[in-house]
Amino acid sequence: MSHHAREEPSVRDANKSKPYIPALSKGTDDGFSNEDEATATCFCGAVQLVFGFKGLIPEGNFLCHCTDCHKIHSSMFATNFCCMDKYVRYTRGRENLTEFSTTKTPVSGKAMVNHFCKTCGTLMNRTGEGFPGINVLRVGTVDDFNLMETKLKPQVQQFTKDRVSWLEDVPGVKKVEGFHYWHKVSNL
């Protein structure tokens, strides 16, 4: 095996009793995860933020099948979670984020802003006029992969009307045809 290859357990086989932080490209393996907070890092490692679990909002972990998420993530759906502003801080690279904003969104016509790493293109955060004070973060940027199966497991899937036909309902996950108003559920 070349020394460039990585030797790690799989997500399935990782020890679930401690953080599982695979070393991806350079600089992405210095994140952490503890009882109170965890890191999210872009693919190149330039941008890293910390979010606190206390800032997660009710029903704010969601899969989104909307047509915007489809394109933004260059995938079939997005895996997102919402965290209040005061529980999000950047440890490095905030200046390395750039923005793309549009008001042509599937719901309100209110502006949504994408914040992504200008080096590697990883989308770290979306913010919107329609839900001030909330960061819509990406589960895929979280360094501890085990959190996907615990604290960041999806609670809702939204825009199932736009879901590809070969994907099925996720057991135990609330299904919403259009937009799920998690920002109203959250009581902010």
- Residues within the interface to Zn ion (CB under 5 A): 42, 44, 46, 64, 66, 69, 117, 119-120
Residue with smaller CB distance to Zn ion, 119 or 160: 119
Whether the CA torsion 38, 3, 8, 25 is positive or negative: it is: positive
- Tell me the pairing of strands 174-175 and 156-158: parallel
CA atoms within 13 A on the CB side of 3: 0
- Which residue number, 44 or 49, has a Cβ lying nearer to Zn ion? 44
Query: Are 88 and 50 a contacting pair, CB within 8 Å?
Result: yes
How far apart are CB 69 and Zn ion at their closest, in Å?
A: 3
Strand partners, 98: 116
CB nearer to Zn ion: pick between 120 and 148: 120
- Min separation Cβ 98 and Zn ion, Å: 11
- C-beta of 57 vs 117, nearer to Zn ion: 117
Minimum CB separation of residue 47 from Zn ion in Å reads 5
CB-wise, 43 or 53, nearer to Zn ion?
A: 43
In Å, what is the CA distance from 178 to each residue of 63, 81, 87, 125?
12, 17, 28, 21
Residue 130 C-beta: closest distance to Zn ion, Å: 13
Using H for helix, E for strand and C for coil, what is the string for 59-79?
Answer: EEEEEECCHHHHHHCCCCCEE
Residue 17 CB, nearest distance to Zn ion (Å)? 30
Bridge partners, residue 88, by sequence: 51
Q: How many Cα atoms sit within 13 Å of 19 on the Cβ side?
A: 18
